[in-house]
Amino acid sequence: MKDKIFLGRCGKNCVFFDAQRLYNSHVTILGKSGAGKSVAAQKLLLEMVEGGQDVTVLAFNAHDCLNRETIYEGIRKDFLQNSIYRDLSNGELKLPLFEKTVMPNGRMKSDVDIVMSLTDALSKPFALKSRQRIMLRKAIEQVMHKEIYHKEGIAAIGNQLLALGDDVAENVYDKMYGIFGHNIFVDGNDFITQGKINIVDLSYLDSDSQAVAIEVVLSQLWNMALSCQIHKYKNVYVFIDEVQNIKYSTSGMLSILLSEGRKFGINLILATQVVTLNNANPTQRKMLQSGLVLYFQPSDCDMNMIAKMIDPKNPGQWVMELRFLNVGEYIVSGPIIIDGVEAMGPITVSGVDVDKADISAEVTPDHLDTRCHFVEPPQENMN
């Protein structure tokens, strides 16, 4: 992975994201629709994979922001050259959902482990009730025992639900019709390619089916981490756009990866329009604890709340800064590097058509833009 990921400029100074020095490398991107979040995310993903095989990106295209034609024109050619698109409706996402793997303690995953894990991943986004979960679990057990997933894909679970001849099972089938009808997962082990932006197209699915697809794929990624298979990909970044539209539970994979993913080199980049201050939802609280937060211009009703997130002691200054942000400008909060100098946010950054080629050779704190807060590097103990 590059030592520094270029973000944009603060005044005349180049600003970089330094993932190596952050407590966690999660990134949260906040702002209203049309503020420039999607283009900034596209640039960030491309920066991460360019120049080597150390970073692998898994990106969910749920709201068309990663469609080929919607990639920002200035980076479109390079972005597409570094990307692999997988259409779930064409059987292009191959997941070994019933594969038995060895856990860190040396124990092989049992049939019960696999069935319960898949039942959880499929049921949580739909908030299935007890009887519905039982029917789903029975169908998954039948697919495992008959060994038909490798022939029929995830549609096999739908077929087994109907075969149960139960009204509750049919209700579960109806809820998940988009998943089974499109047969979004087939057997195999080809869903992520190292050193590429791996784009999973969910844009044609309904929101519930999108949530299930994300939960299942993240669950597979987590299983790879627990079984030590993820290390071959080194640094993995997972991008999800418009997170506020995705149904997620406090015990779901998104929450787990926010807490535990960094231990295994799995980092999240989450773009959202809404995060509520003092929200009781622990997943949203974890998002605000990301190592790097990019605050784009919010809606007028959220302006004061976002300013308090940026600086609780002096929100008034940041209300004005937020109000006059242009499209593509944002306030960065977190440890960053400004032309080789360690700095702490918040600072205002412009990512609009900036050139990083003319980075100055030497920079001192006196040369930094006045909005960039210089942090003296720690002195080595010479004793």
List strand residue ranges (DSSP E) for 190-243, in order. Answer: 197-201, 235-240
Q: Kindly state the tokens that stand for 4.
A: 């520094």
Q: How many CA atoms lie within 13 A of 299 on its CB side?
A: 9
| Cα–Cα distance, 300 to 199 (Å, whole number) | 33
pLDDT of amino acid 248: 66
pLDDT digits (tens, 9 = 90+) for 5-15: 889 998 888 89
pLDDT of amino acid 177: 94
Distance of CA 261 to the CA centre of its chain: 11
| Cα–Cα distance, 38 to 71 (Å, whole number) | 9
Mean pLDDT of all residues belonging to the chain: 84
pLDDT digits (tens, 9 = 90+) for 21-48: 666 789 999 999 999 999 999 999 998 8
Mean pLDDT of 270-297: 80
3-class secondary-structure state, position 143 = helix
- Contact indicator for 330, 40 with CB cutoff of 8 Å: yes
pLDDT of amino acid 383: 39
Confidence bin at 288 (pLDDT 50/70/90):
confident
| Measured CA distances, 365 to 37, 172, 339, 368 (Å) | 29, 61, 10, 5
pLDDT of amino acid 355: 52
- Contact indicator for 60, 240 with CB cutoff of 8 Å: yes
Given the structure tokens 């499929």, which residue do they identify? 122
Mean pLDDT of 116-133: 92
Mean pLDDT of 150-164: 96
360 pLDDT above the threshold of 60: no
Q: How far apart are the first and last CA of the chain?
A: 34
Whether omega before 315 lies within 30 degrees of 0, making that bond cis, reads no
Q: For the chain, give every residue range classified as CATH 3.40.50.300.
A: 5-84+197-374
pLDDT of amino acid 144: 96
Torsion on CA atoms 55, 223, 273, 42, rounded to nearest 10 = 20
- Contact indicator for 18, 164 with CB cutoff of 8 Å: no
Orientation of helix 130-146 relative to helix 111-123, angle to 10°:
130
Nearest Cα to Cα of residue 371 among 315, 339, 331: 331
Nearest Cα to Cα of residue 339 among 315, 365, 377: 365
- In residues, how long is the chain? 383
pLDDT of amino acid 204: 84
242 pLDDT above the threshold of 80: yes
Mean pLDDT of 162-169: 96
27, β-bridge pairs: 269, 292
75 pLDDT above the threshold of 70: yes
| Cα–Cα distance, 92 to 381 (Å, whole number) | 55
Nearest Cα to Cα of residue 217 among 86, 46, 25: 86
Q: Which top CATH class is 5-84+197-374?
A: alpha beta
Confidence bin at 68 (pLDDT 50/70/90):
very high
Percentage of residues of the chain with pLDDT beyond 90: 45
| Cα–Cα distance, 265 to 42 (Å, whole number) | 21
Mean pLDDT of 263-291: 79
Confidence bin at 363 (pLDDT 50/70/90):
very low
pLDDT digits (tens, 9 = 90+) for 189-215: 878 888 899 999 988 888 888 888 999
Q: Residue 23: CB partners within 8 Å, gap ≥ 6?
A: 291
Alpha helices, DSSP H, located in 16-107: 37-49, 76-81
pLDDT of amino acid 130: 96
Mean pLDDT of 66-82: 94
| Measured CA distances, 155 to 65, 136, 145 (Å) | 28, 13, 15
Residue 256 φ/ψ region, left for φ over 0, alpha for ψ in the -120 to 50 degree band, beta for the rest? alpha
Mean pLDDT of 329-341: 87
pLDDT higher for 300 or 252? 300
pLDDT of amino acid 3: 63
pLDDT digits (tens, 9 = 90+) for 293-321: 999 999 998 899 899 989 989 899 899 99
pLDDT of amino acid 189: 83
Orientation of helix 130-146 relative to helix 167-175, angle to 10°:
80
Q: Residue 4: CB partners within 8 Å, gap ≥ 6?
A: 16, 17, 18, 337
Mean pLDDT of 249-275: 85
Confidence bin at 153 (pLDDT 50/70/90):
very high
